[in-house]
A and B are shown apart, each in its own frame.
Chain A
Amino acid sequence: MTVNPLALTTGTGVGVSSGYYNNGVSNSVPAENIAGMLTNGVFTAGSAGVAGSTGATQVPRTADGSSFADLLSSSIGQLQGLQSTADTYAQQAATGDLQDVHDYMIAANEAKLATTAVVTIKNKAVEAFNEIMRMPV
């Protein structure tokens, strides 16, 4: 079982909601749209809340062209890799086949640090999103 630090819900009409209104459009945003916003930018006021709509502003990208969403999803992939390495060593430790005890300790600590990092980033991203949604237009 891998721990999914983002734990975003899916489905329409369920997601982050700040409870304010923006020109009559509800701010309750489905999870797919959050991902869409991260990739494609915030939709302009008055348009339907559909990801990838025309008129979206450009999202900042790093030098090699990856956006924040790309970085986040690649870091989750690496996190799953680190967690499964730690699990493999833990099983070897249980059966007594582990060659070096520090192999397991290093893998477990790296998985712990990576999980903390991804959870912190998720918390900050959600906080920032809420902050933005709270802004009066």
Chain B
Amino acid sequence: MIGISDTTMTALHAALTGLSQRQRVSNDNIANVNTPGFLAGRTDFESSLRSELADGSTPAIGGGSVHRSLAATRTDGNNVDLDSETVIATETGLRYQLALQALNGKYDLLSAAMRTQ
């Protein structure tokens, strides 16, 4: 009866974990913008989350994967594009805050339902 988290809340938790991994990898790319031979890291948690929600199964937390981008490199072998990394990082931060807002919304609904007056 008191299964506090439903599929939506678990999906939001999975999104938060995936986005926080993306933020770390994006910061790693920015730190290595001048490292010779460094290929930018990319993460993906959306595809597994989307297929789990489509199946109706419970989303897995921490199902994101890291792979290396195969975009063109500069002469020193580095392919980190600072402009696109900045956009990715900003978008990730905003999506993280959106997921937190959505989770707060779910908590407010539950606590309103439990209010005795």
Instruction: Show the binding face of A for B, using Cβ within 8 Å.
Output: 71-72, 74-75, 78-79, 82, 100, 102-103, 106, 109-110, 113-114, 116-118, 120, 123-124
Contact = CB atoms under 8 A, between A and B. Distances in A.
Nearest to A68: B1
A52 to B, nearest CB: 24
Interface string B83-117: 00000000000000000100100010011001010
Contacts of B116: 120, 123-124
A109 B13 contact: no
B16 to A, nearest CB: 5
6 contacts: A75-B2, A100-B17, A102-B100, A106-B103, A116-B111, A123-B116
A113 B111 contact: yes
Interface of B: 1-5, 9, 13, 16-17, 20, 100, 103, 107, 110-111, 114, 116
Contact of A109 (B3, B16, B107, B114): B107
A28 B71 CA distance: 78
